[in-house]
């Protein structure tokens, strides 16, 4: 977070003119850590800005969506309601020829009833590139007044503002490639925090600029203090936010999921199809009203949203997740027999095996929903601080960069990567695989560049 006084690289001529003085091991360690801190900041900045801004927005997705969609979601309570079967008929007429896939209900009498229809397929690559994970999967949501049957409006879920925000946050709208880049930025972000704490370490310095940032003096010095000190105080929150984000990632997230499955801690009751009790061939399925009534009996309050997917297989049962604020830690799975409308099974998030619960906790913590609004505010502030840390870091480099030079930190005096440096890279490759691989690439490029510089210096010396 604070750069050493000799932080600017020099050209071949200046290197030949003066011989660098010998430095202690501690000083060399500081230079090496500073270089990696610098590389991490440069590599993560553009992606970091996108991820932090979209993350700050998405934290309040529930509240902002409820405010924006009031005309779609809220209705005046009437004396009588239409049956859910009748609403399904009206919805089918509105969405034809698209097939209805699900109904979304709530225990709140002042809420509309939503239906989900599979929209026409979209050409691959039209949204998010041809390797976009869901480029061909589009869903139309329509909203009906349950008292009058009036169509309140409709929208395509994949074209919603927050769907785009989430796509940017997860994959930069680049599919799997973007998800790997986001994982790279997150992993390097953790390395930024670790190296930043080392660079901040007081080493005999006094209070000002160490524990309390200066508010007077040159702009560069003030920004440097705020960059270092505020970064230190937000390290715990930043580690939690970024660390839990890795549970969504391609490499580490997939590895964790594989480990959970290998340990037998996956959640089979959540994902395996639920089966209805065998019945005679002439027995008709229960009405949608009966099924919805059963689901509403398991609601924990008006904030529960219950998306119920329609059953197509005659042997299967209805299976739906009751959701509160899209908090995965509060999910409740309920399966209902499609013929009797009786409850088959109820599984709360806490009923799942331990390792899978860890995954669910990570999702809720990352989204700032583990303890409601207080953690949302903390997640928002953390996202803003991370964005400002990256911006001020880039600004300080650009401000101090000599004209015509990169301004990159100077290589250690002996020019070689210490043995422990390779150990750190090896450990990082195991703990943070994407970051470890990129560190190896950066180290190799750095070594090649140093070789080129030495060759240029030798050529210059021979000409002289």
> DSSP secondary structure string, 207-221?
SBTTTB--SSS-HHH
Least confident of 158-162, 245-249, 348-352, 454-458: 454-458
Q: Peptide bond before 156: cis, by omega within 30 degrees of 0?
A: no
Instruction: Give me 45's structure tokens.
Output: 């900045």
CB count within 10 Å of CB 206 equals 8
Least confident of 287-301, 409-423, 441-455: 409-423
User: Mean pLDDT over all residues of the chain?
Assistant: 84
Least confident of 71-85, 193-207, 293-307: 193-207
Query: Can you say how many angstroms the Cα of residue 271 is from the centroid of all Cα atoms in its chain?
Result: 23
The whole-number average pLDDT for the span 55-75 is: 94
The per-residue pLDDT for 14 is 38
If pLDDT is split at 50, 70 and 90, which confidence band does 128 have? very low
The whole-number average pLDDT for the span 158-163 is: 94
The per-residue pLDDT for 130 is 38
The whole-number average pLDDT for the span 77-93 is: 96
The per-residue pLDDT for 372 is 84
Q: What is the reported pTM?
A: 0.82
End-to-end CA separation in angstroms for the chain: 40
The whole-number average pLDDT for the span 421-437 is: 79
Task: Tell me: pLDDT of 278 over 80.
Answer: yes
Q: Which long-range contacts (CB under 8 A, 24 or more apart) does 173-182 make?
A: 173/128, 173/129, 173/132, 174/128, 174/129, 174/131, 175/128, 175/129, 175/131, 175/132, 175/133, 176/131, 176/133, 176/250, 177/131, 179/249, 179/250, 180/250, 180/251, 180/434, 181/47, 182/47, 182/51, 182/249
The per-residue pLDDT for 77 is 95
Task: Tell me: pLDDT of 334 over 90.
Answer: yes
The per-residue pLDDT for 337 is 97
Least confident of 249-253, 265-269, 403-407: 403-407
Q: What percent of the chain has pLDDT over 90?
A: 51
The per-residue pLDDT for 206 is 60
If pLDDT is split at 50, 70 and 90, which confidence band does 38 have? confident
The whole-number average pLDDT for the span 146-166 is: 95
Least confident of 2-6, 213-217, 283-287, 452-456: 2-6
CB count within 10 Å of CB 155 equals 16
The per-residue pLDDT for 24 is 52
Alpha-carbon Rg for the chain, nearest whole angstrom, is 28
- 318 close to 102: Cβ distance less than 8 angstroms: no
The per-residue pLDDT for 459 is 60
> Could you give the CA distance from residue 442 to residue 450 in angstroms, rounded to a whole number?
12
Higher-pLDDT residue of 155 and 30 is 155
The whole-number average pLDDT for the span 280-290 is: 92
The per-residue pLDDT for 112 is 97
The DSSP output letter for 98 is: S
The whole-number average pLDDT for the span 66-92 is: 95
The per-residue pLDDT for 462 is 55
Mark 282-306 as b/e (b = at least 16 C-beta within 10 Å): eeebbebbbbbebbeebbeeebbbb
If pLDDT is split at 50, 70 and 90, which confidence band does 335 have? very high
pLDDT, tens only, 447-462: 787 787 777 766 655 5
């Amino acid at each position: 977070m604070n750069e050493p006084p000799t932080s600017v690289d020099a050209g071949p001529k200046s290197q030949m003119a003066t011989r660098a003085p010998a430095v202690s091991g501690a000083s060399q360690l500081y230079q090496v850590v500073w270089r990696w801190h610098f590389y991490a900041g440069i590599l993560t900045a553009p992606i970091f800005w996108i991820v932090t801004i979209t993350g700050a927005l998405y934290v309040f997705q529930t509240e902002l969506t409820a405010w924006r969609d009031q005309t779609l979601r809220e209705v005046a309570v009437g004396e009588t309601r239409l049956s859910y079967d009748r609403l399904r008929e009206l919805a089918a007429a509105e969405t034809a020829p698209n097939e209805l896939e699900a109904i979304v209900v709530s225990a709140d009498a002042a809420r509309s009833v939503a239906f989900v229809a599979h929209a026409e397929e979209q050409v691959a690559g039209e949204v998010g590139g041809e390797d976009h994970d869901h480029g061909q999967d589009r869903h139309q949501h329509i909203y009906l007044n349950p008292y009058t049957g009036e169509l309140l409006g409709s929208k395509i879920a994949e074209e919603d503002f927050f769907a785009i925000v989430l796509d940017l946050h997860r994959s930069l709208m680049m599919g799997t490639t973007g998800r790997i880049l986001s994982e790279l930025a997150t992993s390097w972000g953790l390395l930024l925090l670790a190296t930043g704490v080392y660079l901040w370490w007081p080493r005999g310095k006094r209070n000002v600029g160490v524990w309390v940032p200066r508010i007077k003096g040159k702009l560069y010095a003030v920004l440097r203090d705020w960059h270092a000190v505020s970064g230190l105080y937000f390290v715990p929150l930043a580690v939690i936010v970024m660390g839990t984000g890795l549970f969504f990632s391609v490499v580490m997230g997939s590895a964790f999921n594989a480990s959970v499955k290998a340990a037998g801690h996956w959640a089979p009751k959540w994902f395996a199809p639920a089966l209805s009790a065998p019945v005679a061939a002439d027995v008709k399925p229960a009405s949608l009203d009966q099924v919805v009534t059963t689901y509403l009996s398991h609601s924990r309050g008006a904030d529960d949203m219950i998306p119920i997917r329609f059953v197509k297989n005659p042997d299967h049962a209805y299976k739906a997740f009751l959701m509160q604020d899209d908090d995965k830690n509060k999910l409740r799975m309920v399966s209902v027999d499609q013929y009797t409308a009786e409850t088959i099974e109820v599984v709360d998030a806490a009923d799942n095996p331990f390792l899978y619960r860890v995954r669910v906790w990570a999702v809720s913590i990352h989204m700032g929903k583990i303890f409601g609004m207080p953690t949302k505010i903390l997640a928002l502030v953390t996202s803003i601080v991370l964005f400002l840390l990256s911006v001020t870091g880039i600004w300080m480099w650009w401000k101090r960069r000599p004209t015509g030079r990169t301004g990159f930190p100077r290589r250690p005096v002996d020019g070689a990567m210490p043995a422990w440096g390779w150990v750190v890279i090896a450990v990082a490759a195991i703990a943070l695989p994407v970051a470890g691989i990129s560190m190896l690439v950066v180290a190799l490029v750095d070594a090649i560049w140093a070789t080129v510089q030495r060759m240029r210096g030798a050529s210059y010396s021979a000409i002289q």
